[in-house]
Structure 1
């Protein structure tokens, strides 16, 4: 009987060859789908720019990802169904009714191993290389089957729409910034990108989301000179200041009449027969530039570069001065001011021997997150003191403590209505040695 079965198989060698070719085509479609959907668009763009024509084909295919996937799925299902039908027909002729079960079991094993798992595993291990090889073969197939794929996609959207599910054929679920940020975060977790580089790139991506008010020097910490003070006093204050530019006010600090540059002042003092008492600070100062506090940092950076300026006075919607912002303030959002990613060298931040962090209330939340790799939210507050006030819904007293976001915040010092110093402990430390609560 076995001899008869083998003889019958040999007589149907053409059918067996066709089934084998169909399984190979199924593997091709499965591997192509995996490779072309997993390949890096940035890598393909780089290769295309270097003159690789195959990378250009890959880019043209993945520009219409829905059309590509639909065409490959149609091809894959077509050859799978045809291979299964031929196999079932063959085994029915050879074994009768029992051939259906045997054909089903055999094709399941063959398709799972050789048409799904093996080609997809191969493709995912080297998606760019695999995609470059198959792209020239996939393109003509997509050109032929693509219209049918578009019709199928349209039908699917209409059916899903009946159930209230809306699918856009073009829109990506993630923005380019989110995709880039997620990629960098993943590479950092895997050790391919160091923390400093991750923070710099994150700073660039955040520029469009942050406002000038988030990075400005607040009016309470702003250093300015009074134009009505004696010239000697004004000159001494400017030259003793660590800043090269200082706003000049008259009458009230909200009345900024100019911004004086230390170099301009030195140049004026260097004029022949000019004494400090003869210097008119109002004439030395440059015209002030006022910007709204709601301007995002990306626009403000472009404005600084366009005007070739480094300094602006920040005002609110009522025209009242809120602080000052410099080009350096924005650049620090990108490069940071931490010289070593393991050392706390931030101004206003000190790490005690018990592992707790003593922080000035005015330290920006973003700077603290960057220095310590924390994830404290900065949507509702800019400074660490503002975060405590926002979460506590009050202005805490000294020695009051609060727990949120996995940290224990203890108010160490308060001046009038301002929190000027806090101690922050990770929640594990706080459980070991809880602080006193007023």
Structure 2
């Protein structure tokens, strides 16, 4: 009879240890669930995900029912183990039961189930939610009392449990998620998503065609010279101005010019009749804002102006889209001669090249918080316009000017230095 009683108690003890393992793994599994994947599965009407989501809407109640259950079975298991040990070994059995049960609970009811739950949270949490919801309903009065006392204590210390189930993600966190997607997201799509996220960090100053490179129609020129220039342009929209780009009068679409040519009525007056009024963009406008402005105004091109109203460059819708999807023109990709790699590991770079484009092409880290072009970066570092070719170092890049014209540096040679040489 004694042996049967001990056998029954051992069976109950094993059952209680399994219950403890269930509660421990449920807690870890629930808290380890990816909230954004959980939301996705809920939208897909995954039953287990919907059950788990209901529980996580009130994490205080979820934790309450799990800890009440876990503590109850652990304390009961401890009492039963003590009874068994006393019957077998007398008073010495208390110490034996304490040591043995501690090891058993740590291994089989805590560490092992929690490790498995942390590795496979969905496989543990979703099935467990079917048992936890009925348990929560049964023990709700006790959970309500415990949570009421706990929340009161937390409020005394200025901690609010309201809104604890809300999970938001910042743009920086989203950028990290995209970067860490790895094989789950094709490289091309990953690059496009990162381009969208960076639109608000980049301004029109970073992507505009600088004033010195603007191609337009100067109405002060003879008509034959104007038509000759138009026949060699690769752009579909050109600014029209009188003598100086700051005196712009409109934007001409080449389609309208073609219609004038077909009608045989090409002259300066007819050109002025088909142009569209110019659109101006304040310098420093974020690309995300400008993309919306282009869309709102049905525009594709704008003149970037400074605080004094002077034209600094031209920004187009295509330039902004290229920040997202990469170069749209195959010719531009193939004929980009700003950067020339040399056999000795150095690079000959046109000083008019944008620092940001250099960094992107060569995976460098030249400073981008100041001047936009390599010419501007060199002049700002020197704090003067050099009279002759000079050599300087910016970060881990040794720069030697190669060619100068008037007040501009035309080209430079850049050598990226090894990290170990920076101190020297």
Aligned pair partner of 1:262 in 250, 254, 266: 254
- The change in CA–CA distance for 1:348 and 1:96 in structure 2 (over 3 A counts) is farther
Cα distance in 1 between the residues matched to 2:378 and 2:161: 41
Aligned pair partner of 1:337 in 323, 327, 332: 327
- The change in CA–CA distance for 1:97 and 1:293 in structure 2 (over 3 A counts) is farther
Secondary structure, counterpart of 1:354 in structure 2: coil
Q: Match of 1:357?
A: 347
- The change in CA–CA distance for 1:248 and 1:352 in structure 2 (over 3 A counts) is same
Confirm or deny that 1:290 pairs with 2:288.
no
Aligned pair partner of 1:247 in 239, 243, 258: 239
TM-aligned CA deviation for residue 425 of structure 1: 3.2
TM-score, structure 1 length as denominator? Answer: 0.78
Larger CA deviation: 48-57 vs 326-335: 48-57
Query: Do the aligned residues in 1 keep the contact of 2:206 with 2:356 (CA within 8 Å)?
Result: no
> What is the RMSD of the two structures over their aligned residues, measured on CA atoms?
3.9
Structure 1, unaligned runs of 5 or more: 1-6
Q: Deviations over 1:369-392 (max 9, x none)?
A: 4333445553445444555566x4
Q: Match of 1:228?
A: 220
Query: Do the aligned residues in 1 keep the contact of 2:56 with 2:165 (CA within 8 Å)?
Result: no
Q: Match of 1:400?
A: 391
Q: Deviations over 1:163-215 (max 9, x none)?
A: xx99984675x734333321222233xx5545443322110111123222222
Query: Do the aligned residues in 1 keep the contact of 2:366 with 2:394 (CA within 8 Å)?
Result: no
- The change in CA–CA distance for 1:45 and 1:366 in structure 2 (over 3 A counts) is farther
Cα distance in 1 between the residues matched to 2:64 and 2:362: 46
Q: Match of 2:338?
A: 348
- The change in CA–CA distance for 1:375 and 1:17 in structure 2 (over 3 A counts) is farther
Secondary structure, counterpart of 2:202 in structure 1: coil
Q: Match of 1:132?
A: 126
Secondary structure, counterpart of 1:254 in structure 2: helix
Q: Match of 1:21?
A: 15
Aligned pair partner of 1:47 in 22, 41, 44: 41
Aligned pair partner of 1:281 in 271, 276, 279: 271
Secondary structure, counterpart of 2:245 in structure 1: strand
Q: Match of 1:3?
A: none
- The change in CA–CA distance for 1:96 and 1:52 in structure 2 (over 3 A counts) is same
TM-aligned CA deviation for residue 259 of structure 1: 0.7
Cα distance in 2 between the residues matched to 1:291 and 1:147: 61
Cα distance in 1 between the residues matched to 2:148 and 2:227: 74
Query: Do the aligned residues in 2 keep the contact of 1:238 with 1:246 (CA within 8 Å)?
Result: no
TM-aligned CA deviation for residue 245 of structure 1: 0.9
Q: Match of 1:427?
A: 417
- The change in CA–CA distance for 1:123 and 1:383 in structure 2 (over 3 A counts) is farther
TM-score, structure 2 length as denominator? Answer: 0.80
TM-aligned CA deviation for residue 82 of structure 1: 4.8
Confirm or deny that 1:106 pairs with 2:100.
yes
Q: Deviations over 1:134-154 (max 9, x none)?
A: 233334556744784576366
TM-aligned CA deviation for residue 40 of structure 1: 3.4
TM-aligned CA deviation for residue 297 of structure 1: 1.6
> Within 5 Å, which residues of 2 pair with 1:316-331?
316-331=306-321
TM-aligned CA deviation for residue 261 of structure 1: 1.0
Secondary structure, counterpart of 2:418 in structure 1: helix
TM-aligned CA deviation for residue 248 of structure 1: 1.6
- The change in CA–CA distance for 1:254 and 1:339 in structure 2 (over 3 A counts) is closer
Secondary structure, counterpart of 2:293 in structure 1: helix
TM-aligned CA deviation for residue 327 of structure 1: 0.9
Cα distance in 2 between the residues matched to 1:367 and 1:60: 49
Larger CA deviation: 135-144 vs 194-203: 135-144
Secondary structure, counterpart of 2:348 in structure 1: strand
Query: Do the aligned residues in 1 keep the contact of 2:26 with 2:125 (CA within 8 Å)?
Result: yes
- The change in CA–CA distance for 1:199 and 1:278 in structure 2 (over 3 A counts) is closer
Q: Match of 1:4?
A: none
Secondary structure, counterpart of 1:309 in structure 2: coil
> Within 5 Å, which residues of 2 pair with 1:80-159?
80-84=74-78, 86-88=80-82, 90-91=84-85, 94-95=88-89, 98-141=92-135, 144=140, 145=143, 148-149=146-147, 152=150, 155-156=153-154, 158-159=156-157
Structure 2, unaligned runs of 5 or more: none
